[in-house]
Chain A
Amino acid sequence: MIVKERVLVAMSGGVDSSVAAAMLVEQGYDVVGATMKLFCHDGDLPDRPCCSLDSVNDARRVCQTLGVPHYVLNLESAFGRDVVDDFVSEYSNGRTPIPCVRCNTFTKFRDLLVKADGIDARWIATGHYARATNGELFRGLDHGKDQSYFLWGIQRSVLSRMLLPVGSQTKAETRAVAHRLGLEVIAEKQESQDICFVPDGDHTKIIRQRLGSDAPALSPGPFVLSDGTAIGSHDGFARFTIGQRRGLPGGFREPMFVVAIRPSDRAVVIGPREELLGRGVVAREVNWLVDAPSIGAHVELQVRHRAKPARAEVVRLDGAEVELALDEPVSAIAPGQSLVVYDGERVLGGGIIERAAGQRAPLPVRAA
């Protein structure tokens, strides 16, 4: 008898991970479904009782339909430490974090992998639109849905244990599979654009909960131009991100953007479009999913999800730090976001953006 290989599928209750589980059942794997409990709203949201209960229920119903076991795994404390704490601290430092990246790196593809080991699961699967083949990571086949940008941080060795079944199809195909396999519970579920622990879209709430409403990141500060001219005040720099237009003072001849956030004097620096342009980028916490490229290597990079890839050259490699020089300037390089390095479809690696390098305008000086 052929022993079916066991796979632990991380199931959020959404259509992508549900279909991933269903496809793996069809492909003959011994599927075990797991929903991670990552945070608890504690009755904060009256219509969502606790612990994203509805998602858990949907994932459980899907597993019941598929005839596979389903477990709820409590990863709340590790997630709080690795993802939520960092989220709050990054915002307090005037940066714009992507918690999903850290969740993939630390929670899904590290902590959950330990659980997979505990049940002898050879594989771990998710509903990401990306492809893991022969120990390498590639963009999702459907470029409109590609989620490879969020996966650069995982350990290279994990790639050979990853199954990403929906990464080789379009979202429409995923929904069609859901209908074909009778997963009506979730087939037409809308996907959430929210951060899972910020369900109402207000990320300042969690900062306030953790740091108090008098935290510097949520306290009034000045709007300044890059020459230091003060032009008004804002109610907390954590409400702003590089490239943002909403919520800025008006009365300028050209559109103005947030071009820098300076926690030292709580300043939000605004300027015209050209001040957003960066000619290079420096990233830290660098992780390579291939052998590290050499200095002088020509690659493509993205500094934002869904951004058009930009050509660049590796100019400095320094342990966990990398600097790339862009062939053409790129707009709104935001500290805290991810730098992801590609070779066409293949993900080479990535890091957390520390700063834009070689900007046309010098870094703004502290306002008097």
Chain B
Amino acid sequence: MPDPIYLDHAATTPVRPEVLEAMLPYYGPRFGNPSSVHRWGREARTALDEARERVARCLGATADEICFTSGGTEADNIAILGAWRARHGQGRNAIVTTPIEHKAVIASVHQAAREGAEERLCDMTATGVVDADSYDRLIRPDAAIASVMWVNNEIGIIQPISTLAERAKADGVLFHTDAVQAFGKIVIDAKAIPFDILTVSGHKIGAPKGIGAAFIRRGTVIEPLFHGGAQDRGRRPGTENVAAVIGFACAAEIAVAEREEEWVRLERMRDRLERAILARIPDAVIHGRGGPRAPHILNVSVSGTDSESMLMALDLRGIGCSAGSACQSGSITPSHVLSAIGVPDDVAASAIRMSIGGLTTDACIERVAEVFPALVEKARGVAPAARPARAS
């Protein structure tokens, strides 16, 4: 079998070598606890403070606005539950969000609802963008927080975060955005866009799993989820994951530096793959096509196939993709995102998400452009003779 092809960068990415190298001393000689007063502690504290400043710079923020977390899920929880719990007693009981959010946001909103919050879900357009009128109606001075993800993890659709954040601000509603898939793809500048809380994650950009951050704008009051020491201004108690924080800062700087060039490279490859698929399978549905899309996600449905069988068949040919969302058992359930933007169930049931990134080359795209349509034709019962010959 040729070398396997990883097309699941939206799920996770490998740690970049320079990131790993930057982290290693903090697993070795620089092992100190940043809260300690002695030289070991000072050394770790210096590295942590510097890393916080470096991450802040990547987001147009100041260091005190960066709260390191265990990852995107925790940052989303801090944003939704932390903000709602702090504000619902002040006549702000509602949470405004969309039906296409990541599970971390959806589940946090559900948890707030169990604690008494009012959930308000705004309508989506067929391309997957927030319906402006619906959003406008739901944002009222009785809402604690609005949460809209910047780039959707399944279809890559980009939301007009600037407009949405401004609108929320007008009614004194805090605005949170899960920017996990946007980080490294889109310019994130806290000085230019008035979001109050923003989620980023390390392992999507070449840092290790288990590290992420919440940007929490100065003056934003949240109720901490954890209780313990005074780390991170009490917002996130617990001894800091120093090595991972260093790795995150390093990966964030690289991602921001390479952003523009990488966007162009990914967009070219994504478009090429998309064209190749549509040429061979003219009735393939590319979700979010025609809308504003990040360049690293291609989500395609082909009627007459099913996601599960395609994922297996692709995997057994060495191509790793994903579909829908996995439940506890690892089985696939149809995507809530596709349902929410009005994709019929039978179309959603054949969706395959290909997400490209650092490991993707033109040669990968070429091979996937060959194998994917061939598998589709086989699943649809097209005679093998009808297919062009393939080098083995």
Contacts and interface: CB of A to CB of B under 8 A. Distances in A.
Interface residues of B, number: 18
Interface residues of A, number: 21
A74 B309 contact: no
Contact of B316 (A49, A50, A69): A69
B46 interface: no
B329 A118 contact: no
B330 A119 contact: no
B312 A56 contact: no
A215 interface: no
Given A71-B312, A73-B308, A119-B309, A50 B328 contact: yes
B310 A37 contact: no
Given A32-B316, A69-B315, A69-B316, A115 B309 contact: yes
Contact of B312 (A60, A76, A115): A115
Contacts of A98: none
B312 A74 contact: no
A115 B308 contact: yes
A53 interface: yes
B329 A119 contact: no
Contacts of A52: 329
Contact of A37 (B312, B329, B379): B329
Interface SS, B side:
helix
Contacts of A49: 328
Contact of B313 (A37, A51, A56, A119): A119
Contacts of A120: 313, 378
Interface string A69-84: 1011110100000000
B239 interface: no
B379 A74 contact: no
B327 interface: yes
B333 interface: yes
Interface in A131-185: none
Contacts of A60: 330
A114 interface: yes
Contact of A51 (B311, B316, B331, B378): B331
Contacts of A114: 309
Interface string A26-47: 0000001001010000000000
A51 B312 contact: no
B332 interface: yes
Interface centre among A56, A71, A76, A118 (most CB of B within 10 A): A118
Contacts of A119: 309, 312-313, 316
Given A52-B329, A73-B308, A74-B333, 18 more contacts: A32-B316, A37-B327, A37-B331, A50-B327, A50-B329, A51-B328, A51-B331, A53-B329, A60-B330, A69-B316, A71-B311, A71-B315, A74-B331, A115-B312, A118-B309, A119-B312, A119-B313, A120-B313
28 contacts: A32-B312, A35-B329, A37-B327, A37-B329, A37-B331, A49-B328, A51-B327, A51-B328, A52-B329, A56-B329, A69-B312, A69-B315, A71-B308, A71-B315, A72-B331, A72-B332, A73-B308, A73-B331, A74-B331, A74-B332, A115-B309, A118-B306, A118-B313, A118-B379, A119-B312, A119-B313, A120-B313, A120-B378
